[in-house]
Amino acid sequence: MKYAITVYSIEGCQYCVKLKQWLRENNVTYINKDMNDEHVLKEFKQYEISAIPFTL
């Protein structure tokens, strides 16, 4: 079974960088959503989460 992994992150966030690095090192495919994009930020706020990286 294949899962779609989405990471909400922001450039310069050390935890975001480490998470994405770990995913790459373990050959885990993911979709990165940059929260500097207004539409992505709006989408992120719908989850009522206050911390990043946020992974689905």
Task: Return d(Cα 49, Cα 52) in angstroms, integer.
Answer: 8
8 burial type by CB count under 10 A (0-12 exposed, 13-18 middle, 19+ buried): buried
Q: Which residues contact 33 (CB under 8 A, 6 or more apart)?
A: 6, 7, 8, 9, 40, 43, 44
pLDDT tens, N- to C-terminus, the chain (56 residues): 577 899 999 999 999 999 999 999 999 999 999 999 999 999 999 999 989 999 99
Task: State the pLDDT at residue 1.
Answer: 55
Please give the model's pTM, rounded to 2 decimal places.
Answer: 0.87
